[in-house]
Amino acid sequence: MSRFPTELRRWRTARRLSQLELAIRADTTQRHVSFIEQGRSRPGRNVVMRLAESLDLTLRERNELLLAADFAPAFPESPLDDETLAPVRHALDTILTGHLPYPAIVVRPHGILVAANRAFDLFHEGVDPALLAPPVNLFRHALHPDGLARRVRNLPEWGRHITSNLRAQLARSPDPSLEALLAELEGYLPPLPDKIGVLGFAVPLELASADGDLRLITTLTSFATAADVTLAELRLEAFLPADEPTAEVLRRRWG
């Protein structure tokens, strides 16, 4: 028996949508959605695709929903070193280099490091070599007591910025392995102080360095129109100075 009815109900519940709300989004009827979830109606491939899109699923999740309905996946998943993604690798290299003298990285799901520019060496200073062994998990690298955390002046606030984002991601896309990682990361964080200092529009990373304390803010970029699972899951994380003394240090070291 197809797993699709159960999977559709699970995703609809996770998105907190009624059958009617989902039906309106997918341009069908509540009766049809109800029959599908009861296993009384077998949807065609196009209906499955419309439902997956209406549920705002990732490309990977859309493929999985198609498989649950006994259809072939719609989106390819190419290895990053595949020739078809050569223009992407070139673009990422250009962006990483162009962001110098400020740090920038490319990551894939669960915080796995894919690429970084030279300035990201700033974050490796004093980190236990075991945490730098490939594949590097940047969440663990950031919050582990033997990692970057020992140099982060505002670890309680900045660390919870990371874990809060992961918890929001889990709420949208349940993942047992990510849930286990989140529990580990939360165990590393000290209690929040009574007064929390922020820049006003972002939580800065306040980082101790040989050149004095640095203050950095982060931007995230993704390939919004990606039609390949690998490409859709890549994130470019770029760090920018939150004040002029930080900018001066970074320019002097990597400019």
Same domain, 33 and 108: no
Please state the three-class secondary structure of the chain as a single string. Answer: CCCHHHHHHHHHHHCCCCHHHHHHHCCCCHHHHHHHHCCCCCCCHHHHHHHHHHCCCCHHHHHHHHHHCCCCCCCCCCCCCCHHHHHHHHHHHHHHHHCCCCCEEEEEHHHEEEEECHHHHHHCCCCCHHHHCCCCEHHHHHHCCCCHHHHECCHHHHHHHHHHHHHHHHHHCCCHHHHHHHHHHHHHCCCCCCCCCCCCCCCCEEECCCCCCEEEEEEEEECCCCCCHHHHCCEEEEEEECCHHHHHHHHHHHC
Question: Is residue 75 a part of any domain in this protein?
Answer: no
Question: Is residue 214 a part of any domain in this protein?
Answer: yes
The pLDDT of residue 199 is 45
Same domain, 99 and 171: yes
The pLDDT of residue 201 is 54
List the structure tokens of 8.
């559709």
Residue 32 sits in a domain whose CATH number is 1.10.260.40
Same domain, 60 and 101: no
User: How many domains, in total, are found in the chain?
Assistant: 2
Residue 173 DSSP symbol? S
The span from the CA of 164 to the CA of 143, in Å, is: 13
Q: How many CB atoms lie within 10 A of CB 151?
A: 19
Count of CA atoms in the C-beta half-sphere (13 A) of 187: 7
Q: How many CB atoms lie within 10 A of CB 226?
A: 15
Same domain, 9 and 105: no
Residue 230 sits in a domain whose CATH number is 3.30.450.180
pLDDT (tens digit, 0 to 9) for every residue of the chain, 255 residues total? 689 999 999 999 999 999 999 999 999 999 999 999 999 999 999 999 999 999 999 999 999 999 999 999 999 999 999 999 999 999 999 999 999 999 999 999 999 999 999 999 999 999 999 999 999 999 999 999 999 999 999 999 999 999 999 999 999 999 999 999 999 999 999 998 766 555 455 689 999 999 999 999 999 999 878 999 999 999 999 999 999 999 999 999 998
Note if the pTM is more than 0.85: yes
Beta-carbon contacts of residue 197 (< 8 Å; ≥ 6 apart): 154, 157
Question: Is residue 201 a part of any domain in this protein?
Answer: yes
Question: Is residue 41 a part of any domain in this protein?
Answer: yes
**What range does the domain containing 191 cover?**
83-254
Q: Give bridge partners of residue 2 from the DSSP assignment.
A: none
List the structure tokens of 114.
């894919």
Same domain, 132 and 219: yes
Same domain, 42 and 140: no
Same domain, 60 and 179: no
The span from the CA of 22 to the CA of 82, in Å, is: 37
Same domain, 62 and 137: no
Same domain, 52 and 87: no
Domain termination residue (choose one: 13, 45, 68):
68
Same domain, 226 and 110: yes
The span from the CA of 100 to the CA of 61, in Å, is: 35
The span from the CA of 89 to the CA of 92, in Å, is: 5
